[in-house]
Amino acid sequence: MHQSKVWLVTGSASGLGRFIAEAVLQSGDRLVATAREPLRLHDLAEQYGPQIRVAPLDVVDGAAANAAVQLARSAFGRLDVVVNNAGYGDTSPFEQMSAPRFAAVIDTNLFGVVNVTRAALPIMRQQRSGCILQISSVGGRLSSPGNAAYHAAKWAVGGFTEALAQEVAPFGVRVCALEPGGMRTSWGLRANREIPSLLPEYEPSVGAFIKAVAPVWGNENSDPAKVAQVILRLADMDRLPAHLLLGSDAVQFAAQAEASRSADASRWRELSVSTDAAGAPALPNVRF
């Protein structure tokens, strides 16, 4: 049975975040909707009145993240679900991406997640309940040429989420990294709008990948409205995995990546174990 919840969703003005915000409000739950341009949420505020609060938030700003979280508690008395949705891609060969552009991708996609999670966690610990959903990507399990910064951030989000989920489980907080494949939002078009003129050496890798996926943009595999409904269901579940793939494309591509890694591990096992010291102690009894 669904119990009324208080949500905070980052990047609510567009893309998947907008679908999530609308689904939350349509379900009757209360929402703090955040965006870098909060005026883009004016229509939701008009329609849903006291059920919603709108807050300006650039997730790289830790103080603003804390203010948005505190707004949830002051307005609604608690905070049950955080969806760290804000993020973007920026396609370029690593060598041709400036240091500021690389850092900006990491700041939004990784440290944005960290900032909002850091702000929300004390409230959830005190409540002894809560759910934090990180909108990661199947790109947190595999990689493609031209997206080194994005993959660096998403792989980091996966590790952060998995470790955090183990830390907070004893006091009733659930944390999950959602790893969708392609969704019918504007993500791909934005990620590819500032591709530099490639150095010829990168045509066989980055150039070939860009050409291969170009027909996908605008025809992605997953429906963001369906993803939003899945997110509503996950918030009601007592147990969540640390990672959850979304979309048949994500399932297929992740399986291919895992098979490749497994084959490499077997092929290189003898070299891997050759570094053991003589008389090495038994491994600790821990599970991953």
The mean per-residue pLDDT over the stretch 2-11 comes to 92
Domain ranges of the chain: 6-245
Among 136, 137, 202, 222, the one annotated catalytic: 136
List Cβ neighbours of 128 (8 Å cut-off, separation of 6 or more): 171, 172, 173
Q: Is 205 one of the catalytic residues?
A: no
Query: Would you give the DSSP letter of residue 177?
Result: E
Among 92, 137, 150, 222, the one annotated catalytic: 150
Is the alpha carbon torsion for 243, 130, 32, 161 positive or negative? negative
Among 12, 92, 154, 222, the one annotated catalytic: 154
Which long-range CB contacts under 8 A does 274-279 form with residues at least 24 apart? Answer: none
pLDDT in tens, 134-188: 999 999 999 999 999 999 999 999 999 999 999 999 999 999 999 999 888 866 5
Q: Is 274 one of the catalytic residues?
A: no
pLDDT in tens, 217-270: 777 788 999 999 999 999 999 999 999 999 999 999 999 999 999 999 999 999
Q: What is the pLDDT of residue 193?
A: 67
Q: Kindly report the CATH number that applies to the domain delimited by 6-245.
A: 3.40.50.720
Q: Is 129 one of the catalytic residues?
A: no
pLDDT in tens, 59-94: 999 999 999 999 999 999 999 999 999 999 999 999
Query: Model's pTM, two decimal places?
Result: 0.93
